[in-house]
Structure 1
């Protein structure tokens, strides 16, 4: 299993991670600056167009240099879709000796707060991070921030649970099998108690 380092600033997120990932020895939880991590890859919870000039992405750009934003955007422009959809991730070299790779995993299409808190985007982004890392043999350890917990304003306990479910499925191999759409709907609803399946 890959080594994960989950970095938080606000105690509620750290508490939620410690509860959800309690049985995961390959997951370390730390309070501090994620850009100070020692690992193979760092996660940017960016947007679909690779703008890295706000929030945590701004700190990442300051740490690794603004050329990294341009490199991410160039890779996105090479995609057939010309955008990095939520649920996808790109691995881009940083040129840094200590953290060699950036995993760009959008938690939103454009910077926004509306509807992100009630979404399953932290789950989708976490799955994308782990899938991309698994496809990159050089990556054995990853530093990951809270997903959707900044601009997206997703409650810490919701984001933590979504990230854990994604880890359970991708890293631990406990993929769900849905026998009917009702089971798929329940899985969706369980990921975010603040979301809705129907609006009537």
Structure 2
């Protein structure tokens, strides 16, 4: 995935590629490319669940409160992680699949929808206390969207993220 991200950063000096564990990053927020129900048991979501105690419960509660229990692909929820910096204080859940274990289409449609939703949440989102999301989550760790269990090719994921960046920040 990192090699595919390398091409993404060309011409985008504010994007940085990290090679290593997301748990080693000092960022304000991490992205969970989970499923529509917020189950976080495998892949990067499993890492988050072990690293951020109670995060799955917070994600599922937010999905229940804001979306009636099912977060559509192309939408997000933002939840506090419950831990202090330098670890991320926020998690953005942006599903790339409805059910856990689904394979994504080869075109990466769901990854593109998720990328747009993540970027819109950052750019336009507001916390319940009125603060803009971009002010409290100035840096975001974005893993591959659908490149693990979803089976999406890393190059396709990077292309969809680049399209979302160009569309929203052109």
* TM-score, length of structure 1 as denominator length: 0.75
2:116 match: 127
Q: Following TM superposition, by how much is the alpha carbon of 1:41 offset from its aligned partner in structure 2, in angstroms?
A: 0.3
Q: Following TM superposition, by how much is the alpha carbon of 1:49 offset from its aligned partner in structure 2, in angstroms?
A: 0.4
2:36 maps to which of 48, 61, 71: 48
CA–CA separation in structure 1 for the residues paired with 2:103 and 2:32? 20
SS in 1 for 2:149: coil
Change in CA separation of 1:119 and 1:15 when aligned onto 2, cut-off 3 Å: closer
Q: What do you get for the CA RMSD once the two structures are aligned?
A: 1.3
Q: Does 1:70 align with 2:57?
A: yes
- Contact 2:97 2:104 (8 Å CA) reproduced: no
How many correspondences in the alignment?
Answer: 159
Q: Unpaired segments of 5 or more residues in structure 1?
A: 1-12, 175-200
CA–CA separation in structure 2 for the residues paired with 1:47 and 1:80? 13
| Bigger mean CA offset, 42-51 vs 105-114 | 105-114
Q: Unpaired segments of 5 or more residues in structure 2?
A: 126-132
CA–CA separation in structure 2 for the residues paired with 1:48 and 1:21? 29
* TM-score, length of structure 2 as denominator length: 0.88
CA–CA separation in structure 1 for the residues paired with 2:29 and 2:71? 18
Instruction: Please identify the structure whose Cα radius of gyration is greater.
Output: 1
Q: Does 1:85 align with 2:83?
A: no
SS in 1 for 2:92: strand
- Contact 1:47 1:106 (8 Å CA) reproduced: yes
Change in CA separation of 1:115 and 1:149 when aligned onto 2, cut-off 3 Å: closer
